[in-house]
Structure 1
Amino acid sequence: MLKDKYINPFDFSKQEFEQYESSLKYYRDLTNVTNTAYLEGEKKGKEEGREEGREEGIIEGMKLKNIEIAQKAISENVPVNIIAILTGLSDDEIIKLKNNL
Structure 2
Amino acid sequence: MPVGLVDRALKKFLKEAQIANLNNKEYAMYEESLKRYNDLKNSLDTAREEGREEGKKEEKLKIALKAKAQGLSTPTIVVLTGLSEEEIEKL
Instruction: Place the TM-score, normalised by the shorter chain, in its bin.
Output: 0.7 to 0.9
Give me the CA root mean square deviation: 1.2
Q: Once superposed, which parts of structure 1, at least 4 consecutive aligned residues long, lie more than 2 Å away? A: none
Segments of 5+ residues of structure 1 without an aligned counterpart are 1-27
Q: TM-score, length-normalised on structure 1?
A: 0.66
Query: Counterpart in 2 of 1:80?
Result: 74
Q: Displacement of 1:29 after TM fit?
A: 2.0
TM-score by length of 2: 0.73
Letter in 2 for 1:74: K
SS across alignment from 1:59: helix
- Among residues 36, 41, 49, which one is paired with 1:55 in the alignment? 49
1:89 aligns with 2:83: yes
Matched positions, count:
70
The unaligned stretches of length 5 or more in structure 2 are: 1-21
| Larger Rg computed on CA atoms | 1
Query: Following TM superposition, by how much is the alpha carbon of 1:48 offset from its aligned partner in structure 2, in angstroms?
Result: 1.2
